[in-house]
Structure 1
Amino acid sequence: MVKEQGHKLVAQNRKARYDYHIDDTLEAGLVLVGTEVKSLRAGRATLVDGFAEVDHGEAYLHGVHIPEYTQGTWTNHEPRRVRKLLMHRAEIDKLERRVNERGYTLIPLSLYFKDGRAKVELALARGKKSYDKRHAIAARQADRDAREAVGRRLKGMG
Structure 2
Amino acid sequence: MARPKGNVGVKVKMVAENRRAKFEYFIEDVVEAGIALAGTEVKALRDGQGSIAEAYAEVKDGQIWLVNANIPEFSHGNRFNHEPKRPRKLLLHEREINKMGGAVARAGMTLVPLSIYFNDRGRAKVELALGRGKNLHDKRETMKERDWKRDAARIMRERG
- Look up the match of 2:139: 133
How many residues align structurally?
150
Deviation at 1:151, TM superposition (A): 4.2
- Look up the match of 2:36: 31
- Look up the match of 1:56: 61
- Look up the match of 2:151: 145
Structure 2 Cα separation of the partners of residues 151 and 99 of structure 1: 43
Deviation at 1:147, TM superposition (A): 3.4
Task: List structure 1 runs of 4+ shifted beyond 4 angstroms.
Answer: none
- Look up the match of 2:117: 112
Structure 2 Cα separation of the partners of residues 117 and 18 of structure 1: 28
Q: Among all aligned residue pairs of Structure 1 and Structure 2, give the percentage whose two residues are the same amino acid.
A: 47
Q: Larger Rg: 1 or 2?
A: 1
Structure 2 Cα separation of the partners of residues 31 and 119 of structure 1: 9
2:38 aligned with 1:20:
no
Structure 1 Cα separation of the partners of residues 81 and 58 of structure 2: 25
Deviation at 1:145, TM superposition (A): 2.6
TM-score, with structure 2 as normaliser: 0.88
Deviation at 1:12, TM superposition (A): 0.5
Deviation at 1:130, TM superposition (A): 1.6
Which residues of structure 1 form unaligned runs of 5+? none
| From 67, 70, 91, the counterpart of 1:65 | 70
Kindly provide the amino acid, as one letter, of the partner of residue 111 in structure 2. L
Give the conservation status (yes or no) of the 8 Å contact 2:11–2:117.
no
2:46 aligned with 1:41:
yes
Task: Spell out, residue by residue over 1:97-153, the C-alpha distance to the aligned partner (whole angstroms, 9 max, x if none).
Answer: 11111110001100011111110000100111121111111112223333334444x
Which residues of structure 2 form unaligned runs of 5+? 1-9
Structure 1 Cα separation of the partners of residues 152 and 77 of structure 2: 53
2:84 aligned with 1:79:
yes
Over the aligned positions, Cα root-mean-square deviation in angstroms equals 1.5
| From 126, 129, 133, the counterpart of 1:123 | 129
Structure 2 Cα separation of the partners of residues 82 and 6 of structure 1: 23
Structure 1 Cα separation of the partners of residues 116 and 25 of structure 2: 18
